[in-house]
Structure 1
Amino acid sequence: MLRRASGSVRSRRAGRAVAAILGTAGILAAVSGCGLLGGSSNDSGGGGNGQLERTTLKIGAMPILDSAPVHIASLKGYFKDEGLDVTLEPVTGAATAIPKLLSGDLQLTYGAYVPVLQAQAKGTGDFKFVADSYQTADNIFVIMVKANSPIKSPKDLTGKTIATNTKNSITDLLAKSALDTAGVDSKTIKWVEFPFPDMGAKLQAGDIDAAVVLEPYVTLAQRSTGATSILDTSSGPTANFPISGYTTTAKFAQENPKTVEAVRRALTRASEEARNRTTVEDAVVKYAKIDKEVAALVRIGTYPTSLDRTRLQRTVDLMKKYDMLPKDVNVDSMIIDSAKTAK
């Protein structure tokens, strides 16, 4: 449940803190190859220790709630416990990280499942999912309208202009499903793209009728402009929907099975730790430079501790329904064997 600060002074202070944090996160997410998320950006080739094929790795990460496990694993020394020297490299998402995986600049990356599945279907590369990362919960992804908007119910969204951060992404995939479920023909929607930090201002200015927003931007829009949620896109058919995980190439997984397994163990351990909200809040304060008061305000989804073929197949099926896959993909073949048998 969302914990609220008491008093107008705390509200104003938290609002300012959120704005400052989001600016910091945006800068970090936009930077690549500079090692800002911790560790050295130098890669000497990985080496080995007699037990692992290589010990030095670069893993793509983002300073957001969704990728908390990889940061927890780094902050708490879980990678080191597995004999790994891991550098977390800033990426803006799976789509931008995929070329780095293919070139070997990254060995693994955090990212949404949708662009990885699209790349697999297009034959861009052959990819393996090593571990799950994030799953939706109530009101994590919502469609918002400005304060005093004439849009009072989901059905009022028919034919309207709605912003998403990226077209044909997990964001508008969930939104389209939720709209259709609510009786709104998603094909009537005019989709436009804006970065999440800009959506509150765009709503307030009347440039868009609504926006698909995720945390922590939901909380920011509510507090800074009075925007309100009109539809939870992660409810009904999309409740507890898989959002993101950790990916590597099939080639790297085949050549470095013990190393990949060590990474999976560290991430699984961190995901277990992330069941404790306080652990997530403490980590976010450190890796995204968030004020503790702000970290206590945002809604947080769940961090699965194992990969599940059935969950991932939901993503594939929904993508096919909305023409986001050029052809079918075999999800089972994309999950590393150790993850299939993990409990």
Structure 2
Amino acid sequence: MRSHTPAVLLALPLLALAACAATPAEDPDDGGAAAEDGPAELTAITVGAMPIVDTAALHLGIAEGVFAEHGLEVDVVQAQGGAAIVPAVASGQHEFGFSNVISLLQARERGIDLQIVSPASASSGDTSADLSAILTMPGSGISEPADLAGRSVAVNTSANIGEVMVRTLVAEDADPEDVDFIELPFPDMPAQLVAGRVDAVWITEPFLTLARDRGAEVVVFDYATIDPEMMIDAYITTDAYAAEHPEVVAAFSAAMADSLELATAQPEAARAAVAGYTEIDPEVLERLSMPRFPPELNVASLELMAELAHAAGVLDDPGVAAELVP
């Protein structure tokens, strides 16, 4: 199985502004100094996010006061997917939002003027235990990605990151056009796989662990196999908001960088933070695989994802990757 060379990390330009991150809301005539008669007022922002392990650094940073230190009061609005988050950011309902990289590339190609302001999470790089995998049941006859040709594979959303991962791996030894993709919500996948209604599933944590508890077997951990440094998702804002509020965007980027570093330095704290915004059983939470939380934007990984999406037929112009980086 071929693996792509790990990408060289390139710093997100906005993170260079961390030292001049947005100050708390103040009287414009006070020369920028905080009021002496009380604590400075925080700038309120909303962030559209998903209740998954990928957003652990955001929640850890909020809980530990990192965003407050950067002058921000964060209201996290939970959504089930990027299909709801991206339009909310584009319309100005949320100042910032979270989504997987493929969805962001597709949105930019459709003319939605988004830009990445911080990475969110990345593959653990462990090809024996990552947060995403293709699973099947014992006796299915599927032992490698090429065996998926002519079989049914469940993905949570058609023409998105799961399908790109499956097509990329199948294409190495078979024709991905022969794969029958079926849309299923992640929570339904374990039962449908065990019942034999699909031959395999592309699935992420915590449902990956739940499916394995019911006897499912790993065919391949896709993220880590394709690119051990793969950036999975990111936080975004609009070009217009960034132009109008550069100090707030700089503050958010700096706060996320600090939060990602905190999650990296304290992985068990990041894992524990997940319990605060999900309903994952504590025993399952202790066993599931967590992502990495690199504080720098992996531009090479973003470009690779664009190329993979193009090859999979879900993105026309891989050049839009450059448009997502301010």
TM class, shorter-length: 0.7 to 0.9
Which residue does the alignment assign to 1:207? Answer: 197
Q: Indicate how the Cα distance of structure 1 residues 235 and 284 shifts in structure 2: closer, same or farther if over 3 A, else same.
A: closer
Which residue does the alignment assign to 2:120? Answer: 133
Q: Note the aligned Cα RMSD (angstroms).
A: 2.1
2:98 maps to 1:110: yes
The alpha-carbon deviation at position 291 of structure 1 amounts to 4.5
The alpha-carbon deviation at position 105 of structure 1 amounts to 0.8
2:82 maps to 1:94: yes
Q: Identity, % of aligned pairs?
A: 29
The alpha-carbon deviation at position 335 of structure 1 amounts to 2.1
Q: Is the 8 A contact 1:108 1:247 kept in 2?
A: yes
Q: Deviations over 1:127-152 (max 9, x none)?
A: 11000011113332211112343334
Q: Deviations over 1:157-194 (max 9, x none)?
A: 2210111000111111111112223x132111010000
Q: Is the 8 A contact 2:105 2:324 kept in 1?
A: no
The one-letter amino acid of 2:296's match is S
Q: Is the 8 A contact 1:177 1:233 kept in 2?
A: no
Q: Deviations over 1:212-248 (max 9, x none)?
A: 111111110111x211111221244333211100000
The alpha-carbon deviation at position 74 of structure 1 amounts to 1.4
Q: Is the 8 A contact 1:117 1:329 kept in 2?
A: no
Show the 5 A alignment for 1:251-266: 251-266=240-255
Q: Indicate how the Cα distance of structure 1 residues 178 and 78 shifts in structure 2: closer, same or farther if over 3 A, else same.
A: same
Q: Indicate how the Cα distance of structure 1 residues 279 and 54 shifts in structure 2: closer, same or farther if over 3 A, else same.
A: closer
The unaligned stretches of length 5 or more in structure 1 are 1-46, 337-343
Q: Deviations over 1:309-334 (max 9, x none)?
A: 21211111111111211334343342
Which residue does the alignment assign to 1:250? Answer: 239
Show the 5 A alignment for 1:1-343: 48-49=25-26, 50=28, 55-123=43-111, 125-137=112-124, 138=126, 139-181=130-172, 183-223=173-213, 225-275=214-264, 276-336=266-326
The one-letter amino acid of 1:202's match is Q
Q: Indicate how the Cα distance of structure 1 residues 132 and 53 shifts in structure 2: closer, same or farther if over 3 A, else same.
A: farther
The alpha-carbon deviation at position 281 of structure 1 amounts to 1.4
Q: Is the 8 A contact 1:95 1:116 kept in 2?
A: no
The one-letter amino acid of 2:294's match is P
The one-letter amino acid of 1:69's match is A
Q: Deviations over 1:259-279 (max 9, x none)?
A: 011111111111011113211
The alpha-carbon deviation at position 280 of structure 1 amounts to 1.2
Q: Indicate how the Cα distance of structure 1 residues 157 and 290 shifts in structure 2: closer, same or farther if over 3 A, else same.
A: closer
Q: Is the 8 A contact 1:122 1:326 kept in 2?
A: no
Which residue does the alignment assign to 1:28? Answer: none
Equivalent residues, number: 287
Which residue does the alignment assign to 1:12? Answer: none
Q: Secondary structure of 1:316's partner?
A: helix
Q: Deviations over 1:77-103 (max 9, x none)?
A: 111111111100112222221211122
Q: Is the 8 A contact 1:178 1:235 kept in 2?
A: no
Could you tell me the TM-score, scaled by structure 1's length? 0.79
Q: How many Å separate the matches in 2 of 1:153 and 1:297? A: 25
Q: Indicate how the Cα distance of structure 1 residues 152 and 309 shifts in structure 2: closer, same or farther if over 3 A, else same.
A: closer
The alpha-carbon deviation at position 289 of structure 1 amounts to 4.3
